[in-house]
Copies of this chain bind each other. A is one copy, B any other.
Amino acid sequence: MAQIRHALNTKRADDFAAWYQEVISAAEMAEESGVRGCMVIRPWGYGIWERMQRLLDDRIKATGHSNAYFPIFIPLSNFEREAEHVEGFAKEMAVVTHHRLIAGPEGGLIPDPEAKLEEPLVVRPTSETIIGDAMARWVQSWRDLPLKLNQWANVVRWEMRTRMFLRTSEFLWQEGHTAHADEAEAREHTLTMLEVYRAFAEEDLSLPVIAGEKPENERFPGAVETWSIEAMMQDGKALQAGTSHYLGTNFAHASGIKYQNREGGESLCHTTSWGVSTRMVGGVIMTHGDDDGLRLPPKIAPQQVVILPMLRDKPEDDALVEYCEALRATLAAQFAVGEPIRVLLDTRPGKAAAKRWDWVRKGAPIIVEVGGRDMENGVVSLLRRDRLWDETTGKPDFQTPTRVEAGQSIPAILGDMQAAIFSEAQERREANITRGVTEFAEVEKFFAASRYPGWVEVQWSKPTGAELEQVVERLKALKLTMRNVPLGSRPADGVCIFTGKPAIERVLLAKAY
């Protein structure tokens, strides 16, 4: 087996965190902005987010929600009103105190002391309270229910330690908020949205996830139930990729979301909220990336096929571009994974080999190179990003179908890649979940045994109060958290690994982002 020279300097196995940063930089996905904690999302990274938005938005609309837009500023008093809410929330927020800049006494600009706001405004860390206010205005009668809203927006949480996509002061997300007449419907809707997230993650992002309920200590403050989807990164850590909360009547009570019921009396609504963010882009990188850069499932690739004519700044170039353009047009007229194929004929100046490796690092699913000889032979050189190397030769594993064959087979190859990249991640995850651990000492041993250890499923008695706190502390000492109690996991049949009492359910333990 030949030595392979990978496209990145850092290998996942050597330094996962440095590898992650290198992928982001080499794939031109994002970069530091110079503004504390905020990143610039570059066109390729934003293109991936746009694809995610489009696909998730379709799913959110298909489940009966409408998008709306609420102010970026939230009056300070809204946070005071929701004292409990704030308690659980980091109070690290961007606070607007002035509405004017003027020239300062020592030159430069300063906030105008004359333009101090009577009440400071907070840049939204989430829109719970302001959407709650609107719901209270819009809901009058049972006829107005359910009210199903969603917002795509930027939010700000002042973060001291940031990491691109995973934790930034400003990030992009969607936040869904719904109000229902009764508990059963609201609880059901919480799970409907969890399922929307699961399907989105698995079918669109090829990201295998485990959907389940968070333990009490991991609930969103004010929530009655918090559910999540959890994905395993290639370093074995968990990434919470989306959450769905059943909020009971807690938020309805705080915001006054009431309705006249069919009997003419007044009832509080039951509400839900749920969100996913640009964090999911980080999850895609850490699940699908390899030592050559990003790999993208076709559904979220801004370009699915990149055609690279090997131009030489000579008159023959025209014929080569024409030859490539025919393939581009053939592909653009076809569908793959449910949409018209996104194909780019890349004729920018630059060396073909350099351009090939740029597209490899960016994770374009299929790269088609075409040189003069290919054209003479009526073929193309096709590279699948998920099967990049010929392990025998240590060289890129080019296939050379005829141009006509390429035009016919590429739609199916894209469908195949969408599934293959999912299976690969799912098999890796399953291989890295250890079940049947019955002693806490084994847990310790498991997480000490390897650098990228994966997850452990244990049985527990679901304690509350001080007993739960003890569990959380013991896990914290190992830098572990309980991720969730998977939906549909086998019933408990043993004793609690923490308390020794009869177990109630199974819960996943992991290090997490």
Instruction: Report A's interface with B, CB cutoff 8 A.
Output: 31, 33-36, 38-43, 46-47, 49-50, 66-77, 79-80, 86, 91-102, 108-112, 120-123, 130, 133-134, 137, 143, 149, 153-154, 156, 158, 170, 172, 348-350
Q: From residue A237, how far is it (CB to closest CB) to chain B in Å? A: 26
A-B contact pairs, 18 of them (CB 8 A): A34-B75, A35-B121, A40-B68, A40-B69, A41-B68, A41-B69, A41-B70, A43-B149, A46-B66, A46-B68, A50-B67, A79-B101, A86-B101, A86-B109, A95-B97, A95-B98, A97-B97, A98-B120
Q: State A98–B117 Cα separation when bound (angstroms).
A: 13
Query: Which 9 A-B pairs have CB atoms at the shortest separation, nearest pair first?
Result: A43-B66, A38-B71, A41-B69, A95-B98, A99-B158, A35-B71, A95-B111, A91-B101, A94-B96
Cβ-defined contact, A156 with B101, below 8 A: no
A70 with B33, Cβ < 8 A, contacts A76-B109, A101-B79 known: yes
- A71's partner among B40, B101, B130 (CB-CB below 8 A) is B40
Cβ-defined contact, B92 with A38, below 8 A: no
A38 / chain B contacts, CB cutoff of 8 Å: 71-73
Q: From residue A351, how far is it (CB to closest CB) to chain B in Å? A: 11
18 additional contacts (CB under 8 A) given A40-B70, A95-B99 = A38-B71, A40-B68, A41-B68, A46-B68, A69-B172, A71-B170, A72-B154, A73-B170, A76-B108, A76-B109, A80-B108, A91-B112, A93-B101, A96-B96, A97-B97, A99-B158, A123-B123, A143-B349
Query: How many chain copies?
Result: 2
Q: From residue A125, how far is it (CB to closest CB) to chain B in Å? A: 10
Q: State A111–B122 Cα separation when bound (angstroms).
A: 10
A66 / chain B contacts, CB cutoff of 8 Å: 43, 46-47
Cβ-defined contact, B71 with A43, below 8 A: no
A49 / chain B contacts, CB cutoff of 8 Å: 69
When C-beta atoms are compared, the residue in chain B nearest to A154 turns out to be: B72
Q: From residue A167, how far is it (CB to closest CB) to chain B in Å? A: 15
A86 / chain B contacts, CB cutoff of 8 Å: 101, 109
Q: From residue A335, how far is it (CB to closest CB) to chain B in Å? A: 15
A149 / chain B contacts, CB cutoff of 8 Å: 43
Q: State A72–B134 Cα separation when bound (angstroms).
A: 25
Cβ-defined contact, A91 with B102, below 8 A: yes
Q: State A112–B350 Cα separation when bound (angstroms).
A: 53
Q: State A35–B130 Cα separation when bound (angstroms).
A: 9
A40 / chain B contacts, CB cutoff of 8 Å: 68-71, 134
Q: From residue A117, how far is it (CB to closest CB) to chain B in Å? A: 8
Q: State A92–B134 Cα separation when bound (angstroms).
A: 27
Cβ-defined contact, B111 with A73, below 8 A: no
When C-beta atoms are compared, the residue in chain B nearest to A90 turns out to be: B100
A73 / chain B contacts, CB cutoff of 8 Å: 35-36, 38, 94, 170
